[in-house]
Amino acid sequence: DQQVKQNSPSLSVQEGRISILNCDYTNSMFDYFLWYKKYPAEGPTFLISISSIKDKNEDGRFTVFLNKSAKHLSLHIVPSQPGDSAVYFCAAIHTGTASKLTFGTGTRLQVTL
């Protein structure tokens, strides 16, 4: 039972344009959502997060939007740069006892010149 889903396994975007990565979840108990970025042969690194009480969080070129009613979040990268090429994982957590990060399957972003 996959509670966090990223339905697009890959995405290709031209340098300078906007990259939009999507994520859906099913567990309404999740109260925090995070995005991780992963390069080959490295562990995932934390990128940006959002609380369920907000609908938007921005950090430089990265913005995460949350639509609680649709159980959907998205990560926008503007402008996209070649160094953004990586696998992006959406993750969610219920900040209760023994909470754990539940990950999506990832979206591979390729930023082309």
Partner 1 sequence: DTAVSQTPKYLVTQMGNDKSIKCEQNLGHDTMYWYKQDSKKFLKIMFSYNNKELIINETVPNRFSPKSPDKAHLNLHINSLELGDSAVYFCASSQFDRMVLGYTFGSGTRLTVV
Instruction: Point out which residues bind partner 1 (CB under 8 A).
Output: 2, 32, 34, 36, 41-46, 49, 51, 87, 89, 91, 93, 95, 98-103, 105-106
Residue with smaller CB distance to partner 1, 14 or 51: 51
Q: How far is the CB of 49 from partner 1 (least distance, A)?
A: 6
Residue with smaller CB distance to partner 1, 76 or 94: 94
Residue with smaller CB distance to partner 1, 91 or 109: 91
- Alpha-carbon gap, residue 56 to 17, rounded angstroms: 20
Q: Which long-range contacts (CB under 8 A, 24 or more apart) does 46-49 make?
A: 47/75, 47/88, 48/75
Of the candidates 104, 113, 99, which has an alpha carbon nearest to the alpha carbon of residue 74? 104
